[in-house]
A and B are shown apart, each in its own frame.
Chain A
Amino acid sequence: MTTQNIEIYVNGEITVCPPGQLLEAFLTDFLARAGLTPDRVVVEINGQICKPENLGNRILNAKDQVEIIHFVGGG
């Protein structure tokens, strides 16, 4: 039995994830690929800032627009 993956937008790019995927698990995996930890990273979902305490109970839905933002050098 296969489940159909859903499409979401992450930092402007189409990405697929399994249905029922928790935002927190997705984020941890995404950041691990960048060699980062969730410390001082902020997530915006459909234009709303997602508080860290809500990451664990937010399930990703098809077409969600996720922005994963952090600090870089700047003047």
Chain B
Amino acid sequence: MQNIDDSLVIGGKALSGRLFIGTGKYGDDALIPQIAEASGAQVITIALRRVDLSNSRGNVLQRVPEYMQLLPNTSGARNAEEAVRLARLAKAAGAGDWIKIEVISDTRRLLPDGYETAKATEILAKEGFTVLPYMNPDLYVARALANAGAAAVMPLAAPIGSNRGLSTREMIAVLIEEIKLPVIVDAGLGRPSQACEAMEMGAAACLVNTAIATARDPVKMGAAFGEAVRAGRGAYLAGLGRVLEAGAEASSPENGALTGFLNKTAP
């Protein structure tokens, strides 16, 4: 567990865990509480859909531990209006007032629409929602979201569900430097080492769903991501050591080495 002084505060709520997990793509939803426990995650995403009589897996909320902070998303929204509608439905359905805005109209690339996301963020923040927008790591979009009242920004590491890792590393680093809000790396992280690197860079948290859900053992992978995020945060707080531009520098003292002494021939 992180030191209590290092809790991440979002929407006035202090979170001790910096890994957020999802609830999608699990072969068996009974894994969800096990992954929640193994990973130490405190925040969990859910989605809204029509009740489907032909294929109902039941309400996923029954699988979410009571202590967790729900983060419903607006997946399926193609514009700001639909995102706002879904956010209000999520609140009315009892998920509280946190919302992950996700506006995607390109069904092939699945990249978020920054303009529509900012519009939805402004409307929902004014209504009192704690808004966490999913975004491309673009500095100007991030500023627009901050001005619109976002509680955090959630840049993608790589396209949704791809497990391709921190392909937007440099742009995320720019957001971490320039944006005062927590930067939560979302989408595309495939390995614990990539989540760890994002945290070392100063990301406030990471959201991981597919990499855990598609692992051979999702519970073990959830635990591994939890450890990676904690390690990366610890490294960030410790301050990474400097990098030499060139050459090398021995870690052991150069003076008083026995071997140099022994190699000298006696007079």
Total A-B Cβ pairs within 8 A: 103
Q: Looking across the interface, which residue of chain B has its beta carbon closest to that of A52?
A: B92
A50 to chain B, nearest CB (A): 9
Contact B59 A40 (CB under 8 A): yes
| A44 proximity list for chain B (CB < 8 A) | 89
B:33-85 near A, CB below 8 Å: 45-53, 56-61, 72-73, 75
- Asked if B17 CB lies within 8 Å of chain A CBs, one says no
Q: Say which residue of A31, A34, A74 sits within 8 Å of B47 (CB atoms).
A: A74
Contact B22 A75 (CB under 8 A): yes
B175 to chain A, nearest CB (A): 20
Number of chain A residues close to chain B: CB under 8 A: 24
| B50 proximity list for chain A (CB < 8 A) | 11-12, 67-69
Assembled-state Cα–Cα distance A42/B51 (Å): 10
| A41 proximity list for chain B (CB < 8 A) | 51, 59, 93
Assembled-state Cα–Cα distance A24/B88 (Å): 20
Q: Say which residue of A40, A71, A73 sits within 8 Å of B22 (CB atoms).
A: A73
Stretch from B6-14, B24-32, B123-131, B234-242 at the A interface: B24-32
Contact B56 A36 (CB under 8 A): yes
- Asked if B267 CB lies within 8 Å of chain A CBs, one says no
**Given A31-B51, A36-B51, A68-B51: A74 in contact with B61 (beta carbons within 8 A):** no
Contact A42 B89 (CB under 8 A): yes
Assembled-state Cα–Cα distance A73/B48 (Å): 8
- Asked if B121 CB lies within 8 Å of chain A CBs, one says no
- Asked if B136 CB lies within 8 Å of chain A CBs, one says no
Assembled-state Cα–Cα distance A74/B23 (Å): 5
B:81-114 near A, CB below 8 Å: 88-90, 92-95
Contact B73 A34 (CB under 8 A): no
- Asked if B207 CB lies within 8 Å of chain A CBs, one says yes
Assembled-state Cα–Cα distance A68/B56 (Å): 13
| B49 proximity list for chain A (CB < 8 A) | 69-70, 72
Contact B207 A71 (CB under 8 A): no
| A68 proximity list for chain B (CB < 8 A) | 50-51
14 A-B residue pairs with CB within 8 Å = A11-B50, A34-B56, A39-B94, A40-B61, A41-B59, A49-B88, A67-B50, A68-B50, A69-B49, A70-B49, A71-B47, A73-B57, A74-B45, A75-B75
A residues neighboring B (CB under 8 Å) = 11-12, 30-31, 33-36, 39-42, 44, 49, 51, 67-75
